[in-house]
Structure 1
């Protein structure tokens, strides 16, 4: 999925003094192997199951502790889905703006979601 047409015009487009021109180019990311894509596809299916089971109970998405800043980050179901689909398609994840003040009680860790599904299946 490509969101370029939905993005606002770059305010520095065609500006020879664009501050971004002084940045180092992004490193090329190697495409995923078929095995890695299959694992992401499995996770994508899990996200859909998590959403079906947890969204009706007020859970809006997943939270992760960032390895870079050690702070929790909150991703709603749609962001998780679009990021995974982009990864499978060997694309960069689309730009997204999570809520500035998320309801932290409405996001749970991945392992919680797995455990919740396991509990549902046990009955």
Structure 2
């Protein structure tokens, strides 16, 4: 699914002094060890399961608290999956912007998602 229509216009579009033009285009993603690749594959599977079970309940993704900026960062399921797929493919994660005004009630922490799946699995036993 593509949500680019929800994104604000790039403030540097058509600007010859775009700060991104100073980035090294040949920057490569660091290679993953086999253990890192296996862990990331497991987390990708979890993100897909989270989306399947939580989206019907109005949960759009995950938030993380950032110690550097002292704010919460919100990531839609598609952004999480895209970043993980890029990393597994040996690419840098694509540049993205979060929603301009995300609804904080539509995002939950990673541990909440894990607990929700654990609860569902306990019901099935």
TM-score, scaled to structure 1: 0.79
Deviation at 1:19, TM superposition (A): 6.0
Cα pair 2:29 2:91 within 8 Å, conserved: no
Name the residue aligned to 1:108.
Answer: 108
The Cα of 1:11 is off from its aligned counterpart by: 2.8
Alpha-carbon shift at residue 21 of structure 1 (Å): 8.5
Change (3 A) 1:11 1:37: same
Which residue of structure 1 aligns with residue 86 of structure 2?
86
1:119 is aligned to: 119
Structure 2 counterparts to residues 25-64 of structure 1, below 5 A? 29-64=29-64
CA displacement 1:69-107 (0-9 Å, x = unmatched): 121000000000000001111211111121111000000
RMSD: 2.5
Provide, for residues 36-79 of structure 1, a one-character-per-residue CA deviation record: whole Å limited to 9, x for no partner.
Answer: 01100100000000011100000000000113212100000000
- The structural deviation recorded for 1:111 is 0.1
The aligned residue for residue 11 of structure 1 is: 14
Please give the alpha-carbon distance, in whole angstroms, between the structure 1 residues aligned to 2:40 and 2:31. 13
Residues 63 and 109, structure 2, Cα contact 8 Å, conserved in 1: yes
Q: Which sections of structure 1, spanning at least 5 residues, go unmatched?
A: 1-7
Q: What is the deviation of 1:20?
A: 3.7
Number of residues paired by the alignment?
A: 112
